Structure 1
Amino acid sequence: MALSIRDVQPHDLDSVLALNNAAGSTILPLDVAGLRGLYEEASYFRVAEVDGHIAGFLIALREDARYASPNFLWFRAHYPEFVYIDRIVVARPYRGLGLGRVFYADVTSYAETHVPQLACEVFLEPRDDVSLLFHGTWGFLEVGQQTMPSNGRRVALLAKTLCSYPFVRDTYLHGPTGRLPDLPWLGERVRPNVAVRGARAAGGA
């Protein structure tokens, strides 16, 4: 099995939309406009390819994203800097291969060099114990609950403190250069709307 994790490309979006809307009740459906908005706003949007086929994706956003999700807005109201995992989907034929853990290792590697918190939510209605256990083993703790106004479903709001971030912040982001080393794996995703919004200052919104 040949596996690669790479940044999403425009030609991937039809496949991503189909995967999202076939994922079941634990993933909120998207339309073309909604996915396009995430494509433009996400600071992390990567797909997994297995033997040349898109097998899954993960989308995450920084705290300054233009995004109206009530769960994202809850975290914005409580944390000044964070990476919010909006959704992760693995296609049914590729489940059980550990792609979820591969994605979480990758997004954690991104987040811990930029922010102090990694955040997400898990549905409690219906209760998703598999996802709750998965996130617990990754060090997430429940920091709140709320009911989503769009569908009346209750969610657990989870956050993970990234213990590596203080070293990165003090040594690099707040250090002599004010920036991370110029290495490909530390680079920010180039978003389509970056020219309109302007570049984000190092280490903050």
Structure 2
Amino acid sequence: MADCEAVLELNRAVVEVTSPMDAERFRELYQFSSIRLSVVLEEKVVGFVLAMEEGCGYDNGNYAWFEERLRKFLYIDRVVVSGECRGHGAGRSLYAHLFAEAERLGLLSVCAEMDREPPNEASLRFHQEMGFVPIGTRVLESGKTVSMQLCSLDRDREEDSRTVVV
């Protein structure tokens, strides 16, 4: 993913449902990410995803929440598709590649969080369609409530991918 400025521009357009990211933060996230994908249309980056494997050392509250509860997972830190490309398959294409790569790495699940309050209806709907299910919630320092969600890569092993927390 060479076009840092295009990724930053995409992120700026949806910063209210992601979080701020400058070039330094992008480089940091890029280094932690084991899967880095982008969608290019007519030589323009129109979508991207950055995802980290368990045990990568990423210092992030949402990542830590999953790390306390799951094993052999891939955490989607950031996924953005440009407004003009939403609903045309770019996100599905990103996730198809992401799931295939996660399976190749021998991972059991993919996890992510979406804004629940205030709701990011498009993201919640998209992730539900992609097979994600809610497994908890977190209230962030900002006051947002996020839905913590998981998609099992092998439905038969879904129970094995979670650690029971009492």
Q: Which residue of 1 aligns with 2:160?
A: none
Q: Which residue of 1 aligns with 2:23?
A: 32
**What is the CA RMSD across the aligned residues, in angstroms?**
1.7
Partner of residue 54 from structure 1, selected from 38, 45, 67: 45
CA distance in 2, matches of 1:164, 1:153: 30
Deviation at 1:27, TM superposition (A): 1.6
Partner of residue 60 from structure 2, selected from 66, 69, 72: 69
Q: 1:94 to 1:145 in 2, by over 3 A?
A: same
Q: Which amino acid counterpart does residue 126 of structure 1 have in structure 2? A: P
- Structure 1 runs of 4+ aligned residues shifted over 4 Å read none
Gapped runs of 5+ residues in structure 1? Answer: 1-7, 167-205
Q: Which residue of 2 aligns with 1:17?
A: 8
Q: Scaled by the length of structure 1, what TM-score is found?
A: 0.71
CA distance in 2, matches of 1:52, 1:128: 29
Q: Which amino acid counterpart does residue 117 of structure 1 have in structure 2? A: S
Partner of residue 126 from structure 1, selected from 118, 124, 140: 118
Deviation at 1:164, TM superposition (A): 7.5
CA distance in 1, matches of 2:126, 2:68: 26
- Asked if 2 retains the 8 angstrom alpha-carbon contact of 1:112 and 1:164, the reply is no
Gapped runs of 5+ residues in structure 2? Answer: 158-166
The number of equivalent residue pairs is 156
Larger Rg: 1
Aligned sequence identity (%): 31
Q: Which amino acid counterpart does residue 97 of structure 1 have in structure 2? A: H
CA distance in 2, matches of 1:94, 1:139: 21
Higher strand share: 2
- Asked if 2 retains the 8 angstrom alpha-carbon contact of 1:112 and 1:165, the reply is no
Q: Scaled by the length of structure 2, what TM-score is found?
A: 0.87
- Asked if 2 retains the 8 angstrom alpha-carbon contact of 1:145 and 1:156, the reply is yes
Q: Which amino acid counterpart does residue 27 of structure 2 have in structure 1? A: R
